A and B are shown apart, each in its own frame.
Chain A
């Protein structure tokens, strides 16, 4: 069986990081699935999902590192009127940061619990906020 539980987040900064481990564990408990896998996947292309330690200093280092690697003022191609949108796309840095971070993670579920290392937390990363975001928590397995 598969259950998809959406997690909604309204971000309020241009770049922002959230720890969503607790919400994922709660979704697993609510699903009733005892043995299987959980996939956490963002529905967007300018956000990321990754696994790392939940430390303020690390969030800062990741933020500074990505901004150095992908500066706002570089001459990107993704800065032009998008006919399908009727608006000007100007968020190449969001797309590129999302590309590096990735859009999902997986963990096994055993006896109804998410199996993760003691330092492992699930990060949701906003790279083009503020925005309204949806993350799918996809739980697959047996009850």
Chain B
């Protein structure tokens, strides 16, 4: 079973009936010329990449966007309902929303979303800020993980502030029962991410990075040199999850590239699916 832990469905056709909203998404995500994707097309891509399940991530920055939610929890639920055999949905809330905790409770208890996605730079908060405790408490209460954006972000209005892997250490230390993913391997601070994963078993990462070169060349650099492959294969094999950051990066070539790096078969199985199941505490094939 292969899971892509990091997919942005902002341009999926069923949630793009409004042209103005679609245009807003292009601008606010800095993704252009990609059009909208019928679900059938996306499934064709998943099939070519050998991916069984895609984890769909919402984007809620509405307190800084005149109340506009880029991709809402309800839209994620709607997509999951359209293809429950291919999609797993995460929740998103804007931490500056007075009702953020209430909305997160609803997303977990009523919408049955499987985790929380947050972006500390775009949403302008520090991961260790005590103001975030209410959201973290809810995640622990419902046994749900958090996938944090980490490292470089290509979205506008977004720097690497609050997103360097070291920014997450205090949280990892303070809440050992909270499973957190520093997405994109925290690139370019991949060794900081590796350092945190070595010390904190509750810290995970994903492979959703392709900032230079071809998928094979970039993964060779990031997953065999920046972080030697033996570090992952021997020590961090239970904490690295396959993610593509689709549609910014290339699902098919990234899937092929990671298989060609030389990991043990059992490590590949962990990276490409089993670790995501452990991270989410949810197995889509056991219902």
Contacts and interface: CB of A to CB of B under 8 A. Distances in A.
A and B: interacting chains: yes
Contacts of A130: 41, 44-45, 47-48
A86 B212 contact: no
Interface in A55-86: 73, 75-76, 79-81, 84-86
A86 B250 contact: no
Contact of A79 (B29, B31, B40, B213): B213
Which range contains the number of A residues in contact with the other chain?
Answer: 20 to 34
B30 interface: yes
Interface of B, helix, strand, loop or mixed by DSSP: loop
A8 to B, nearest CB: 11
Given A10-B41, A132-B38, A81 B212 contact: yes
Given A10-B38, A132-B41, A86 B32 contact: yes
Given A85-B33, A90-B210, A131-B41, A73 B247 contact: no
A88 interface: yes
A86 B154 contact: yes
A88 B210 contact: yes
Interface string A100-143: 00000000000000000000000000000111100000000000
B253 interface: yes
Contacts of B48: 12-14, 129-130
Interface in B235-251: 247-250
B262 interface: no
A42 to B, nearest CB: 16
A41 B273 CA distance: 42
Contacts of A86: 29-32, 154, 248
Interface in B216-255: 216-217, 247-250, 252-253
Nearest to A87: B248
Contacts of B213: 79-80
A130 B105 CA distance: 38
A39 B54 CA distance: 40
A11 B215 CA distance: 22
Max chain B C-beta neighbours (<10 A), residue from A13, A73, A75, A88: A88
B214 A12 contact: no
A87 B247 CA distance: 8
Nearest to B40: A10
Given A10-B41, A84-B32, A131-B41, A90 B47 contact: no
Contacts of A131: 41
A13 to B, nearest CB: 7
Contacts of B44: 10-12, 129-130
A76 B253 CA distance: 14
Contact of B214 (A13, A76, A87, A129): A76
Interface in A84-102: 84-88, 90
B142 interface: no
A87 B34 contact: yes
A81 B153 CA distance: 13
Contacts of A81: 154, 211-212
Interface of B: 29-35, 38, 40-41, 44-45, 47-48, 154, 210-217, 247-250, 252-253
Interface of A: 10-14, 73, 75-76, 79-81, 84-88, 90, 129-132
Given A73-B216, A86-B30, 14 more contacts: A10-B38, A10-B40, A14-B252, A85-B34, A86-B32, A86-B154, A87-B34, A87-B248, A87-B249, A88-B248, A90-B214, A90-B250, A130-B44, A131-B41
27 contacts: A10-B38, A10-B41, A10-B44, A12-B47, A12-B48, A14-B252, A73-B214, A76-B214, A79-B213, A79-B214, A79-B217, A80-B213, A81-B211, A85-B31, A86-B30, A86-B31, A86-B248, A87-B31, A87-B34, A87-B248, A88-B249, A88-B250, A90-B214, A90-B250, A130-B45, A130-B48, A132-B35
